[in-house]
Homo-oligomer: A and B are copies of this chain.
Amino acid sequence: MSLTVVGSIAFDSVRTPFGERERMLGGSAVHFALAASFFSDVHVVGPVGDDFADEHVDLLRSRGVAVDDIEHIAGGRTFFWRGHYEIDMNLAHTDDTQLGVFADFEPKLSEESRSADVLFLGNIQPDLQRRVRGQCAARLAALDSMNLWIETTRDSLIEALREVDCALLNDSEVRMLTEEPNLARAARKVMELGPRIVVAKRGEYGAVLFTPDAFFALPGFLLEDVRDPTGAGDSFAGGFLGYLDMQGMAALSDGALRRAVAYGSVLASFNVEEFGTERVARLTEDEISERYEALRTMTHFEVG
């Protein structure tokens, strides 16, 4: 079992009502890889620039993540995002985005990354997602996307969706992509584009899983401290796909998919408790198991 992720490896400068950080290690591939590392062997694919030091991947290495396919682009700058959150932390305000080395990134996967069982195409330009998909034989491929790509590269995104088994999108993006206001109907329309599994992420409100046969809705784990939501969606995807990879390919049963959503939710809940990767960096397997059970307790009710 192994898992490849392509996505941004970034420096994030973030301000929330609870503090701020300058140039933290972040990006979709980083948040995803850290979360997935509790379940599977993870390979990260993505570019970094001259401002990226070897020590920046120490955290990934310490979690056993393979960093050989993090490509150093000489003369380039690492992807940079600056954003802030107001009191309603479901909404990120972007103040600056510098694509840097991502502008001309041409992904080349190593043999190890190519032969992974599971592939996650983080939120990057959909043609780039397709070029990675084409190199990887993964039996389970998933993608994330965002409003920017729905608006600017819609046709490419629809092509990319054809080539994956699973779409992990925010609920507003599921609606926007399909121009259908009802989430359940919108998710069916996404399925008609290709993916047989659609997960609609709802921020603090949790997530909904749609498959051809069933749906499953889970509220977000209730927290008293939410300090920085950046990366929560990627941590969710990491927990979700990491768990599925750990279960093996035979495990795409309804029950396994539901448990995967719950693990995704657990990882996302830790992600938001502190800034950037701070909380997940010192997370333990016991804490994950404990919160998984707390989430079950929080959502359980008996027959009527």
Q: A residues bordering B, Cβ < 8 Å?
A: 17, 87-89, 181-185, 202, 204-206, 208, 214-220, 222-226, 255, 258-259, 261-263, 289, 292-293, 296-304
* Residues A205 and B208 in contact in the complex (CB < 8 Å), given A17-B181, A258-B300: no
CA distance A159 to B6 in the complex (A): 56
Q: Copy number of this protein in the oligomer?
A: 2
Q: Is the CB of B262 within 8 A of A301?
A: yes
CA distance A224 to B225 in the complex (A): 34
Shortest CB distance A240–B (Å): 13
* Residues A219 and B218 in contact in the complex (CB < 8 Å), given A205-B202, A259-B301: yes
For A204, A225, A301, the residue with the greatest tally of chain B CB atoms inside 10 Å of its CB is A301
Shortest CB distance A48–B (Å): 34
Q: Is the CB of A185 within 8 A of B224?
A: yes
Q: Is the CB of B299 within 8 A of A216?
A: yes
Determine which of B208, B258, B304 lies in contact with A219 in the assembled complex, contact meaning CB atoms within 8 Å: B208
For A89, A184, A217, A225, the residue with the greatest tally of chain B CB atoms inside 10 Å of its CB is A217
Determine which of B205, B261, B302 lies in contact with A301 in the assembled complex, contact meaning CB atoms within 8 Å: B261
Q: Is the CB of B299 within 8 A of A182?
A: no
Q: Is the CB of A298 within 8 A of B216?
A: yes
Given contacts A87-B181, A89-B181, 15 further A-B contacts (CB under 8 A): A182-B224, A182-B225, A182-B226, A183-B222, A217-B219, A218-B219, A255-B302, A258-B301, A258-B302, A259-B301, A259-B304, A262-B304, A263-B304, A289-B304, A299-B301
Determine which of B224, B263, B301, B303 lies in contact with A216 in the assembled complex, contact meaning CB atoms within 8 Å: B301
Shortest CB distance A152–B (Å): 22
* Contact residues in B for A223 (Cβ distance below 8 Å): 182, 184
Q: Is the CB of B208 within 8 A of A217?
A: no
Q: List 24 A-B contacts (CB under 8 A).
A: A17-B181, A182-B224, A182-B225, A183-B204, A185-B224, A205-B205, A205-B206, A205-B219, A215-B298, A216-B299, A216-B301, A217-B299, A218-B299, A218-B301, A255-B301, A255-B302, A258-B302, A259-B302, A259-B304, A261-B301, A289-B304, A292-B304, A293-B304, A299-B299
Closest to A215 in B: B222
For A202, A223, A224, A304, the residue with the greatest tally of chain B CB atoms inside 10 Å of its CB is A304
CA distance A163 to B182 in the complex (A): 40
